[in-house]
Structure 1
Amino acid sequence: MEMLNNSIMKPTGLSYHMLKEITNDFSQKVGHGGYGEVYKGVYNGKDVAVKRLYDLRGLDDNLFKNELNSLMRVHHQNIVQLLGYCYEISHEYVHENGELFFVRTHHRVLCLEYLHGGSLDKHLYEESSGYDWCTRYKIIKGICVGLNYLHVGLKKPIFHLDLKPANILLDKNMVPKIADFGLSRLFSGTHSHVTGDKFKGTFNKTCSAYVPPEYIHSRHITDKYDIFSLGIIIIQIMTGAEGHSKYLEMSSPQQFIEHVHNNWRNRLEATSKHVEEYCQQVETCIKIASNCLEFDRKKRPTIRHIIDELLETETVICEPFPEETSSTNTVEESSGEEEEVGLPMIGPWGGNAGKAHTIKGASHRLESITIWSADVVDALAFSYSESNGKKHNVGPWGGPGGSVNRIHLGPSEFLLEVSGTTGPYICAAADVVKSIKLVTNAGSYGPFGSGGGTAFKTSVQNNGTIVGFFGRAATFIHAIGVYTSNSSPTAAVSSHVQKEIETDQTMEAIFSLETIEEGDREEDDNAPSKIGPWGGNGGMPHDMKVVPHRMESVTVCSDAVVSSLTFSYNDRNGKQRILGPWGGPAGSSFTIRLGAFEHLKGIVGTFGPFDAAGNVITSLTFTTNHRKYGPFGRGGGTEFSVPVEDHGSVVGFFGRAGTYLDALGVYIRTY
């Protein structure tokens, strides 16, 4: 049952006996449908849904295996995830009318993620009550994104053919996930889909409402089958379970569109300050739904066209935050071209949407951080002071929403680490920051947001601190980066915080390596920042003994993983120094020789377990201001990245190495 503990792994085969155990002999039934019955199970404290398919004649074994292979290759945030499966045949003897009969039973069972929000058909309300518009739009877009994945995101498209609210489940954050895809093809040709009147009666009174006319008349199946079903679902999300009946009662689609638009305008005028923006989105969605119901399937839009129309409506809406007016100065933000702070900038991580935000004031220390979050990070604000004591407020960056968390740093408390995740979000056109966690020398805060996506982490050493943020934001925080400083006073990391850092599940430990110029330390007012390391705790520590000024070359030996690293650099006196190789000799060698005007601007890599060596660096890619080198190594595992802003570059490395390169961190200098 390892699959139930790691949702990114391939679904695994499960025994029927084990499924009986985790469901307490299928005792807690939570639902049923045309293909089987669903039971709630618990494994290692985690809820799972166990769907026992009906054992019916005519269900072909080879077809079941083929469809199971299709289900196993699907992994998407808007698709219910298959965790495991069972296909066993049992033989039993039963007594009936005094005779002994031999019975052969096929056990076909799917183990799926459990969605605590239940099915969408339990969450349909009219315009005047129930969920607000943002929640309904979130559900509409999520369904569209999931359907787009099934239609065009796979090598072999999957047509659902039974899309309806009962087959769309919601998680605790109201994120929709499509279920039962592929099962309609599996059960076609049998009498298993228990909808005896599926092709009888009128569209608005039975489940045949979701079936397009071309299938009713000629059993014709294309991707437009699902588009027709989607149109009815959108109408029901916007207007309630009886919405399609109202649509059919209207004299024309345009009359229905105007009716729905007016109803939502009345509600929005009483509840929102952005009536026109939301009304435009309402009108677009109801028009999309109407177009999906075209009798001629060729006139229905594709799912890609639908998503493009939705994205066009996602204008920036900035409502005032419930933040008290401060008597301190508000810093003027600047574009990246005007930025003159002179502090190292690490990052950003995330998407490229929204407005860019930086600061002008030379931050000396952070005073407070405020984060708004729910399923993602909605907004960020912070305050900082300059070395002369002048205080500034920045933000909020982002849009309204989420709960607020305010962190006030004590006089001896300093931010040492920022970590989190970034990735796609159904209500945003580009990647957003999905979670963020802060670690200081006195404690940790968060994570804020539900997480998921690509992990990032940055930390400081050598008595450095994180003194500010920059990034991009619109309705959400799309990207975040940090300013660091080596001149700020710091305090030692408390033992319980250091322990938490060392056991962080996203990245590996921050190791106690040698520092630059240990012993006879060179004085340098512009000492580089030390960021990382990422990787494992094996091998021996390696670090630089002379303050680096500029990177000259990097040599990587790699095969399946990164075996070793060698590099040369110039110190501030122009003397060239060579370090390495750190690691073993295995693999092919590649040397990057930086030109006179070429600087290392970013590193992306992965680390993970390899053989018996524990976590090692499994791949590295280097980016300069001229080109990209790599990847070196085959990759796999946890991703990390270190992008550097225009006025900085990577000038050195530190890490750990044995047979392989176990861990790697970087030195970044600001010019």
Structure 2
Amino acid sequence: MADKSSNTTLLPPPDNKVVERFRALPTQTLREYSRFTDLYKDLSVLEHVLEGSEKPSKLPYPLFQFITENFSDDRRIGHNELGEYFKGVMQVVAVTKVHGSLNISDVIFHHQIGKMMTAKHPNIIRFLGYCSDVAEQELVMDGEVTTAEKWERLLCFEYLSNGNLSKHISDELSGLEWHTRYQIIKGICEGLSYLHKEKFIVHMDLKPASILLDDDMVPKITDFGISEIFRFQGIITLISQPTGGNITLQSEYSAPEINFGGSITSRKVDIYSLGVIIIELVTGSKKKPSIANQVLRRWEQRWNGSSKCTPLRHQVIRCLELAESCLNKDPNRRPFAWDIIHELNKMVNEANAYR
């Protein structure tokens, strides 16, 4: 293999961000490409998607190998029912390696890809590209190295530095300030309203782990295609109907009707989950507080008698009331996401007027 200096001579002058980002990488990580010009072309496409000058598209498998250092443990940042997550060497991308055992059909996979490609909103994770291809893998059998073909499916998203919301949940006396929590609640509602109203997408597994936060603590909903993939595949397991080996999506955030044959594709399923998340953001606990005034007193203790807390008191109580309406056992009596946004905006206007 040629050394790095001889490879980079094939490139245009190093004024492109792609070249700058990858110049320092070790030469051996280029082994998946026969020529560095191929790498440069593929990276340039991803760079343009990041910049917004190109739309998300299908990307070659070797590119994903490269930006994850061949899916190394050092790059692994988590996993869920769909697969493993890796942080890219570009620092601004994350890659999901879909579990091969899910055996997702091409029709279902590309149907979900289409939805993710068209979902564009400040409170929805940015989808950057995907791979659905047969890749060769080296296997050692009886001491001899052989190759085998394996179907690989990969998803590429923006990487958000502050992780998921579950890492930032705390009680009233510690952690995030009230203003930040309020803006996170509002952002989640905005993203959910967009999915429900504009894209006709039901998340079906909304929880703090599926809400990521950027540098400014702006929430972005992710994983909204996972539950639908499982539903189409017919491998969703409900707690009341356990079947060995299947995926379980039931959680403390799931609506009660899921256990009783209700529609799991109703938007009101997500609204129930939203209610639990709001309570958890306000109090640090998933359980509905028995006395709202106790929560308020703890917030007032944190505000330490500040004159600014008068409109904030109303926001705390009203958020708990909205959450309670989301948890109504009758799905038809739960509000829509846009109804909650209206109430949240009204409280912001009242707080501004008070100042």
In which range does the TM-score fall when normalised by the shorter chain? 0.7 to 0.9
| Counterpart amino acid of residue 156 in structure 2 | C
Distance 1:271 1:118 in 2: 32
Report the alpha carbon displacement of residue 278 of structure 1 after superposing the two structures with TM: 0.4
- Are 2:49 and 2:56, in contact at CA under 8 Å, matched by a contact in 1? no
Which residue does the alignment assign to 2:316?
A: 282
Give 2:253's aligned residue. Answer: 210
> 1:42 deviation in Å?
2.4
- CA distance in 1 between counterparts of 2:95 and 2:125 reads 12
For the pair shown, which has the larger CA radius of gyration, 1 or 2? 1
C-alpha change, 1:196 and 1:226, in structure 2 (3 Å) is closer
Partner of 1:18: 63
Superposition map of 1:49-198 within 5 A: 49-91=94-136, 94=139, 103-154=148-199, 157-188=200-231, 190=233
Give runs of aligned pairs for residues 340-419 of structure 1, distance below 5 A: none
Is the 8 Å Cα contact of residues 260 and 286 (structure 1) preserved in structure 2? no
RMSD of aligned Cα (Å): 2.9
Letter in 2 for 1:167: S
Amino acid at match of 1:141: K
Preserved contact between residue 143 and residue 178 of structure 1 (Cα < 8 Å): yes
Matched with 1:41 is 88
Contact 2:238 2:258 in 1 (8 A): no
**1:124 counterpart letter in structure 2:** I
Distance 1:198 1:177 in 2: 31
Deviation at 1:266, TM superposition (A): 3.1
Distance 1:96 1:42 in 2: 32
SS of the residue 2:286 aligns to: helix
Distance 1:307 1:30, change over 3 A: same
SS in structure 1 at match of 2:154 = strand
Q: CA deviation at 1:95?
A: 5.8
The answer to which of 137-146 and 309-318 deviates more is 309-318
Q: What's the offset of the Cα at 1:90? A: 2.7
2:286 counterpart residue number: 244
Given the superposition, is the C-alpha separation of residues 100 and 192 from structure 1 closer, same or farther in structure 2, using an over 3 Å criterion?
farther
Shift, 1:131, TM fit: 1.2
Q: Distance in 1 between matches of 2:119 and 2:59?
A: 18
Normalised TM-score (structure 2): 0.77
Structure 1 length normalisation: TM-score?
A: 0.42
Instruction: Specify which of 18, 26, 30 is matched with residue 77 of structure 2.
Output: 30
The alpha carbon displacement at 1:258 in A equals: 3.3
1:213, CA displacement in angstroms?
A: 1.2
How big is each residue's C-alpha offset from its partner over 1:17-56, in whole Å with a ceiling of 9 and x where there is no partner?
A: 011111111121111111111101123xx52111111112
Tell me how far 1:93 sits from its aligned partner. Answer: 7.3
Q: Deviations over 1:458-493 (max 9, x none)?
A: xxxxxxxxxxxxxxxx98xxxxxxxxxxxxxxxxxx
In structure 2, what residue type is equivalent to 1:215?
A: I
Instruction: Number of aligned residue pairs: give it.
Output: 301
Amino acid of the residue matched to residue 276 of structure 2?
A: I
Q: Percent identity?
A: 38
Q: CA deviation at 1:229?
A: 0.6
User: Are 1:301 and 2:330 an aligned pair?
Assistant: no
Residue type of the partner of 1:300?
Answer: R
In structure 2, distance between residues paired with 1:37 and 1:220? 29
Distance 1:37 1:197 in 2: 24
Question: Is 1:229 the equivalent of 2:244?
Answer: no
Q: What code does the residue aligned with 2:302 have? A: R
In structure 2, the residue matched to 1:264 is: 299
Structure 2 regions of 5+ residues with no counterpart?
1-42, 243-248
Higher strand share: 1
> Equivalents in 1 of 2:94, 2:215: separation in Å?
15
Which structure has more relative contact order (CA 8 Å, sep 6+)? It is 2
Q: SS in structure 2 opposite 1:181?
A: coil
**CA contact 1:277–1:315 (8 Å) conserved in 2:** no
Counterpart Cα distance in 1 of 2:142 and 2:317? 65
CA distance in 1, matches of 2:201, 2:110: 15
Q: C-alpha offsets along residues 399-446 of structure 1, whole Å, 9 cap, x if unaligned?
A: xxxxxxxxxxxxxxxxxxxxxxxxxxxxxxxxxxxxxxxxxxxxxxxx
Q: Distance in 2 between matches of 1:262 and 1:271?
A: 11
**Residue of structure 1 equivalent to 2:31:** none
Contact 2:108/2:232, CA 8 A, preserved across alignment? no
Greater percentage in helix: 2
1:590-639 Cα shifts (integer Å, max 9, x gaps) = xxxxxxxxxxxxxxxxxxxxxxxxxxxxxxxxxxxxxxxxxxxxxxxxxx
Q: Is the 8 A contact 1:198 1:207 kept in 2?
A: no
Is contact 1:4-1:83 (8 Å) kept?
A: no
In the TM superposition, residue 58 of structure 1 has moved relative to its aligned partner by: 4.2
Would the alpha carbon gap of residues 129 and 274 (structure 1) be closer, same or farther in structure 2, given more than 3 Å must change? same
Deviation of 1:119 (Å)? 0.6
Structure 1's unaligned 5+ residue stretches are 201-205, 319-353, 355-473, 476-671
Deviations along 1:570-607, one digit per CA (max 9) or x if unpaired, are: xxxxxxxxxxxxxxxxxxxxxxxxxxxxxxxxxxxxxx
